[in-house]
């Protein structure tokens, strides 16, 4: 019964939201604490969220409490548990950093508040046309149910002192690993970064990448993934600790590179190497590289659960994250270093001024150096290959 009523409740909330002026929302949000459930494995991101909290308190009287996650599914499970218990208001999760399979799951189960993005004042700086990156999440239409906040593009990072000529394809990576056994690994695919590495390999090795835009159930999964697993079977025994154990997350893998145990790591942030060098987390010789043909890219989003206790505050936070000031602070490699989601063509001189004279670094690549951005597969592929990997290789 509750599930049948959810679309009606969502429509009622959306209607109420759009009947309010933005100032009504800001006024209602004052005094609220927004519980932002976000991955807690990156100190730079954690520091950025702390900065957002300070800005929100000073400007709007809104506190932002970071609830660190090891996996976004933790927040999704919390919302599902609340719905099962009939808690359709006053939920514990106000804002989620969400992407791909988790967004798809929440959207399909009517667990999201909104649509709300089009009413955010700072959304005017974002290209929200139907086919724009900010309107699609892993092939799934956003439909105003999540707001963009940072760009992401898969890159490899190498220590150029030890690897002056990094591999330029997955085939070359295998050849390099044969010549340098034990010097490469990837995070456990239970972690987003490890699963992203498998996705990058899949899309590079499959004969028909466009097929991956369809759900797994509409494709011949075994045939499409056969080249991936054949390649991985050859790579695995050549990896760090002979592929018997894997770093838990990206931060631990970066530490292995910094400590000299491995020579190559990976990130979904092209500016990560430059920012990490500044923080002493990587050697000065760390540099970004991408394979020929490009790498996967997407936009990171924030969404509001349908039963959020502080939906007004969450909307104000989502809007602030899109402000030119917040986006420029984020893009600064002395802070977070993530690339902005704002469209320069949509920014006026006042907005563009925030991005003038941002710090540079030899480890910070130019956009032209990053090659083409490859389309993310349908969200179901990430779940399927991560589960398949666990079944094949996990101990």
- Whole-angstrom distance, CA of residue 316 vs CA of residue 395: 45
In this prediction the pTM is 0.76
What is the per-residue pLDDT across 304-359, written as a single tens digit (0 to 9) for each?
999 999 999 999 999 999 999 999 999 998 898 888 999 999 999 999 999 998 98
- Whole-angstrom distance, CA of residue 27 vs CA of residue 31: 9
Q: Are strands 63-69 and 136-137 parallel, antiparallel or unpaired?
A: unpaired
Residue located via tokens 């491995």: 262
Report which DSSP code applies to 123: G
Token couple for 189: 């695919």
Do 300 and 149 meet the contact criterion of CB atoms below 8 Å apart?
Answer: yes
Q: Quick check: is 346 in a domain?
A: yes
Same domain, 248 and 381: yes
Report which DSSP code applies to 240: G
Position 102 scores a pLDDT of 93
From residue 216, alpha-carbon distances to 76, 225, 375 in Å are 22, 11, 16
- Domain CATH code at residue 287: 3.40.190.10
Nearest alpha-carbon partner for 110 in 6, 259, 236, 4? 6
Same domain, 232 and 374: yes
Segments of the chain scoring below 70 in pLDDT: 1-19, 395
* Long-range residue pairs from 161-166, CB within 8 A, at least 24 positions apart, any chain: 161/283, 161/285, 162/263, 162/285, 163/263, 163/264, 166/264, 166/289
Three-class secondary structure of residue 2 per DSSP: helix
Same domain, 289 and 303: no
Phi, psi dihedral angles at 51 (to 5 degrees)? -65, -45
Q: Are strands 373-374 and 295-303 parallel, antiparallel or unpaired?
A: parallel
Same domain, 130 and 161: no
Position 390 scores a pLDDT of 96
Q: Give per-residue burial for 131-151: e unless 16+ CB within 10 Å, then b.
A: eebbbbbbbbebebbbbbbbb
Q: Quick check: is 286 in a domain?
A: yes
Nearest alpha-carbon partner for 279 in 18, 47, 6? 47
Position 360 scores a pLDDT of 87
Same domain, 230 and 323: no
Q: How many CB atoms lie within 10 A of CB 29?
A: 21
Same domain, 158 and 290: yes
Position 179 scores a pLDDT of 98
Same domain, 67 and 189: no
Range of the domain at 327: 2-149+298-360
Three-class secondary structure of residue 204 per DSSP: helix
CA dihedral (58, 59, 62, 66) in degrees, to 10, reads -70
Do 196 and 381 meet the contact criterion of CB atoms below 8 Å apart?
Answer: no
Q: Quick check: is 233 in a domain?
A: yes
Position 19 scores a pLDDT of 52
Same domain, 236 and 308: no
Cβ neighbours of residue 263 closer than 8 Å, sequence gap 6 or more: 158, 159, 162, 163, 180, 183, 184, 257
Q: How many domains does the chain have?
A: 2
Nearest alpha-carbon partner for 271 in 363, 164, 356? 363
Q: Quick check: is 365 in a domain?
A: no
From residue 26, alpha-carbon distances to 12, 58, 291, 305 in Å are 20, 13, 45, 19
Q: Quick check: is 37 in a domain?
A: yes
Same domain, 75 and 208: no
What is the per-residue pLDDT across 199-208, written as a single tens digit (0 to 9) for each?
999 999 999 8
Same domain, 143 and 53: yes
Q: Quick check: is 199 in a domain?
A: yes
Same domain, 169 and 128: no
Position 12 scores a pLDDT of 43
Token couple for 70: 């090891």
Same domain, 60 and 101: yes
């Amino acid at each position: 019964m509750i599930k049948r009523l959810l679309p009606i409740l969502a429509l009622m909330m959306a209607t109420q939201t759009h009947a309010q002026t933005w100032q009504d929302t800001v006024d209602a949000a004052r005094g609220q604490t927004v519980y932002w459930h976000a991955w807690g494995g990156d100190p730079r991101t954690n520091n950025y969220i702390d900065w957002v909290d300070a800005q929100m308190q000073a400007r709007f009287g809104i506190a932002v409490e970071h609830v660190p996650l090891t996996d976004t599914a933790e927040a999704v499970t919390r919302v599902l548990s609340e719905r099962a218990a009939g808690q359709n208001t006053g939920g514990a999760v106000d804002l989620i950093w969400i992407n791909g399979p988790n967004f798809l799951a929440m959207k399909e189960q009517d667990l999201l508040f909104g649509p709300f993005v089009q009413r955010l004042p700072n959304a005017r700086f974002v290209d929200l046309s139907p086919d724009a990156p900010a309107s699609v999440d892993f092939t799934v239409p956003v439909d105003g149910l999540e707001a963009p906040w940072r760009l992401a593009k898969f890159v490899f990072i190498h220590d150029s002192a030890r690897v002056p000529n990094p591999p330029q394809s997955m085939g070359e990576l295998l050849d390099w690993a044969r010549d340098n056994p034990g010097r490469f690994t990837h995070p456990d695919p239970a972690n987003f970064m490890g699963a992203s590495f498998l996705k990058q390999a899949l899309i590079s090795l499959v004969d028909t990448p466009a097929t991956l835009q369809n759900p797994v159930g509409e494709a011949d999964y075994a045939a499409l993934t056969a080249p991936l697993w054949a390649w991985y079977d050859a790579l695995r025994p050549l990896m760090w600790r002979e592929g018997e154990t894997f770093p838990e997350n990206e931060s631990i893998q970066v530490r292995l590179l910094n400590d000299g145990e491995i020579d190559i790591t990976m990130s979904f942030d092209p500016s990560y190497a430059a920012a990490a060098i500044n923080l002493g987390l990587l050697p000065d010789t760390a540099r970004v590289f991408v394979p020929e043909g490009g790498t996967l890219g997407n936009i990171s989003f924030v969404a509001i659960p349908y039963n959020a206790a502080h939906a007004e505050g969450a909307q104000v936070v989502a809007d602030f994250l899109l402000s030119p000031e917040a986006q420029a602070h984020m893009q600064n490699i002395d802070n977070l270093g993530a690339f902005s989601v704002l469209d320069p063509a949509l920014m006026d001189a006042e907005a563009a001024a925030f991005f003038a004279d941002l710090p540079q670094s030899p480890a910070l690549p130019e956009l032209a150096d990053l090659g083409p951005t490859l389309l993310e597969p349908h969200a179901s592929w990430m779940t399927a290959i991560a589960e398949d990997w666990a079944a094949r290789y996990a101990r």
